[in-house]
Amino acid sequence: MRIAVLSGKGGTGKTFVSVNLAVTAKNAVYIDCDVEEPNGRLFFKPQNIKEDEVHTLLPRLFEEKCIGCRKCVDLCRFNALSLIKNKPIVFQEVCHSCGACSLVCPTGAIYEVERPIGVVESGFYGTVQVVTGILNVGEASGVPVIRNALKAENAEKKTMIIDCPPGSACTVMESVQTADYCVLVVEATAFGLHNFKMVYELVTLLKKPCGIVINKGDHVYAQLESFCKENNIPVLCRIPYKEKLARIGARAGIACEEDEETGEQFLALLEKIKGEVEK
Amino acid sequence: MKIAIPVNEMRVEAEVCVSFGRAPYFLFYDTESRETEFIPNPAAAAQGGAGIKAAQAIVDGAANVLLTVRSGENAAEVFHAAKIMVYKTTKVTAKENIDEFEKGQLAQMTHFHAGFHGKI
């Protein structure tokens, strides 16, 4: 079972929900796809870490083979190549590593080299495998790192918790692509609802079943409730605001292990998700 | 010498377009023959890398000089490689800026802004 946790708005509690779900499931793989700012590892402090470098491909030129035919420049849909004095030059930040230029080159003048853009770390917190995608600072796209992090496939059919990046851009689509179910963490505010609608549209478009967790949901926000009702979105769980939880979070503790009520809540949440997936 | 200018319309009195990469047209002006030519910017609606593609059109048009309000650093790299000089416009219309340039009143561009794309 692959569960993706996403939110639209940053800071609603994706990592909080993901970490606690993984710990509750025990036999789980937690994958941090928020590669620009992965912070699940701050809570897990995983042991026995193994690192794998992530590369992307970049075209290079055998100048003596190039006949200046311009096919590569004209084909590149990202406009990452230009032809100056009959030789192509490559703009590496614009290149999407699709490889089309090397395929179309009639003389084999273009070859591809690997360029490191980040790492995927894998370690353990008890029985929970903790996988963290980390994008190098200044890199434009985290998609290749996410793709590699998600490859941490498990043969034992463990529960997989995918902690997604905020927003609803390419990185989020990549993160939820293989998910069986999406948990949308929502904040009961106007801003929270606005961004929730965007991710809800995204998961609907990708035809993923989903349910919501309302974080700091002590009070009823009528617009959110009616939106969920109208669209038949199940409210899986409401986590009330508690100073105790904030304190646990601030020192990077794991709430379901330290607070009994929260522990029970996550157990119930995990069961509900399993039920929804089986539907 | 051939001068290129990003313009909003296909006439010499047209305003210089504030965007280089997304300008609708490019004006080419030959200082010797005094002939003008207009081409649509192939990068006007590009999804990304517009500056690079637009700069390619300037190179392909065999311009020696570009007069523009601003330019990004990727386009600047193309101009540098192709030895095209970039000057900053000071007037509103293409014609006024050509006159200024021919009087030696325009200064070379020293600041090229960072790209807006690839930062998704």
Q: Are residues A216 and A92 in the same domain?
A: no
pLDDT for the residue numbered A218: 83
Mean pLDDT, residues A146-166: 85
Asked if B63 is an interface residue toward chain A (Cβ–Cβ < 8 A), one would say: no
Mean pLDDT, residues B85-105: 96
The type of residue at A261 is E
Q: Are residues A68 and A160 in the same domain?
A: no
Whether residue A140 has pLDDT greater than 90: no
Whether residue B117 has pLDDT greater than 80: no
Whether residue A272 has pLDDT greater than 50: yes
Whether residue A155 has pLDDT greater than 80: no
How many domains are contained in chain B? 1
Q: Are residues A146 and A192 in the same domain?
A: yes
Rounded to a whole number of angstroms, the distance between the first and last alpha carbons of chain B is: 40
Mean pLDDT, residues A146-156: 79
pLDDT digits (tens, 9 = 90+) for B34-65: 999 999 999 999 988 999 999 999 999 999 99
Chain A from 25 to 84: CB within 8 A of any B CB? 73, 76-84
Indicate yes or no: CB of B118 within 8 angstroms of CB of A169: no
Q: How far is A170 from chain B (nearest CA, A)?
A: 8
Mean pLDDT, residues A173-194: 94
Burial class (CB in 10 A: 0-12, 13-18, 19+), A235: middle
Which residues of chain B neighbour A78 with C-beta distances below 8 Å?
A: 47-49
pTM: 0.77
Q: Are residues A147 and A89 in the same domain?
A: no
Residue B113, in any domain of the structure? no
Number of CB pairs, chain A paired with chain B, less than 8 A apart: 54
Mean pLDDT, residues A11-33: 95
B54/B75 Cα distance (integer angstroms):
8
CATH number, residue A212: 3.40.50.300
Residue B109, in any domain of the structure? no
pLDDT for the residue numbered B111: 86
Residue A102, in any domain of the structure? yes
pLDDT for the residue numbered A153: 63
Q: Which string of DSSP letters, residue by residue, matches A202-235?
A: HHHHTT--EEEEEET--S--HHHHHHHHHTT--E
Which residues of chain B neighbour A89 with C-beta distances below 8 Å?
A: 77-78, 81
Q: Residue for token digits 């690192």?
A: A51
pLDDT for the residue numbered A32: 97
Which residues of chain A neighbour B120 with C-beta distances below 8 Å?
A: 140-141, 169-170
Whether residue A16 has pLDDT greater than 90: yes
CATH number, residue A103: 3.30.70.20
Domain of B95, in residue numbers: 2-102
How many domains are contained in chain A? 2
Residue B59, in any domain of the structure? yes
What number of residues does chain B have?
Answer: 120
Q: Whole-number mean pLDDT of chain B? A: 92
- Percent pLDDT > 90 in chain B is 88
Using 50, 70 and 90 to split pLDDT, how confident is the model at A154? low
Q: How far is A247 from chain B (nearest CA, A)?
A: 34
Query: What 3-state class would DSSP assign to A41?
Result: helix
Domain of A37, in residue numbers: 2-54+118-278
Burial class (CB in 10 A: 0-12, 13-18, 19+), A208: middle
Residue A113, in any domain of the structure? no
pLDDT digits (tens, 9 = 90+) for A47-98: 999 999 999 999 999 999 999 999 999 999 999 999 999 999 999 888 888 9
pLDDT digits (tens, 9 = 90+) for A231-261: 999 999 999 999 999 999 999 999 999 999 9
Contact indicator for B18, B79 with CB cutoff of 8 Å: no
Cβ count within 10 A of residue A232:
6
Q: Whole-number mean pLDDT of chain A? A: 93
Low-confidence winner among A27-36, A135-144, A266-275 (lowest mean pLDDT)? A135-144
A162/A145 Cα distance (integer angstroms):
14
Rounded to a whole number of angstroms, the distance between the first and last alpha carbons of chain A is: 13
Domain termination residue (choose one: A43, A78, A108) = A108
CATH number, residue B48: 3.30.420.130
Q: Which string of DSSP letters, residue by residue, matches A45-110?
A: --EEEEEEEEEEEEEEE-TTT-----HHHHH-TT--EEEETTEEEE-TTT-----HHHHH-TT--E
Mean pLDDT, residues A175-201: 94
Q: Are residues A132 and A180 in the same domain?
A: yes
Mean pLDDT, residues A134-160: 85
ipTM: 0.84
Burial class (CB in 10 A: 0-12, 13-18, 19+), B119: exposed
Residue B120, in any domain of the structure? no
Q: Are residues A8 and A83 in the same domain?
A: no
